[in-house]
Structure 1
Amino acid sequence: MPEHDSWNKIWELNHRVADLGEPLDLSDETRALLRETASEVAIASEEAARALQGDGSAATSLLKEVAKRIRVGSRRLSRAIAEANKFQEEGDLDAARAPLLDLLAVEVVPYYRELAQIHLDALDEP
């Protein structure tokens, strides 16, 4: 399970860099944060290492991709769970499974996949 504090730090850092135009400060702490969170969102450690060794633009691209995977995956998961819950309340378990299975077909972030699987498994419990 990811450290939600580190994901919040990524969100804040990405906001400062992408929205406010601040330069990315590649301190040891920032490099460690990007390396750690990249692995949590299924970015290969080699890819993250290359980005962190390169110029600031490669690291900024890594930051944007990490933030995007967290943001998009979270929204995708929330929508899938809401839709599944709606169908479950209506008593249509097959329809309730569909959005969760659709999510599992495209989601790469292990934590979001795990949560979707938990919800999917719960549909089969009495």
Structure 2
Amino acid sequence: MEHEEGEWHEIRVLDTRVQQGQALALTADVRDLLLRSAPTVAISDTEAKAALANVESATALLRKIRERISEGSDRLSDALFRMYELQDAGDLEGARQQMRDVLAVEVVPEYREIAEGELAKLAKLP
């Protein structure tokens, strides 16, 4: 995950530059970063390679990767907060439902693993 987190940081930095008006330069390093990062957010190798055909589609791929990282992180964080509140209040079914709701929509494997792990912990509780 540390390696992934480093790549995700690079994606955030690159996307921020592009949002600020800097054109995406499709260098070998940028292509490699996008190809390595795509599967970490459930984008197929085929889709990622096709997106590298031109700057416009590569920029769209960069945006999609960034959105999946950011939106998934926000969704998971919010659900975890609600889950802990419900768990503390004694509503274990409501707490479990928070993780099921995340799993119903989340595609990023790392975020899915976290939600599945929390759901497994909650399953062991009465």
Q: Which residue of 1 aligns with 2:97?
A: 98
Which residue identity does 1:116 align to in structure 2? A
Is it true that 1:81 corresponds to 2:80 in the alignment?
Answer: yes
Cα shift readout 1:7-52 (whole Å, capped 9, x = no counterpart): 000000000002x110001111111110011111000110000011
Whether the aligned pair in 1 keeps the contact of 2:35 and 2:49 (CA below 8 Å) is yes
RMSD (CA atoms): 1.0
Partner of residue 120, structure 1:
119
Unaligned runs of 5+ residues in structure 2 are none
The answer on 1:40 being equivalent to 2:33 is no
Unaligned runs of 5+ in 1: none
Please give the TM-score of this superposition, normalised by the length of structure 2: 0.95
Task: Give the Cα separation in 2 of the matches to 1:70 and 1:61.
Answer: 14
4+ residue runs over 6 A deviation: none
Contact 2:4 2:40 in 1 (8 A): no
State how far apart, in whole Å, the 1-side matches of 2:105 and 2:34 are: 23
Alignment of 1:59-74 (within 5 A): 59-74=58-73
Counterpart AA for 2:79: A
Q: State the shift of 1:55 in Å.
A: 1.3
Distance 2:120 2:67 in 1: 27
CA distance in 2 between partners of 1:28 and 1:44 (Å): 19
TM-score, normalised to structure 1, is 0.95
Q: Give the share of equivalent positions with the same residue, in percent.
A: 43
Q: Distance in 1 between matches of 2:62 and 2:23?
A: 12
- CA drift at 1:124: 2.4
Q: Which amino acid aligns with 2:46?
A: E
Q: CA deviation at 1:123?
A: 1.1
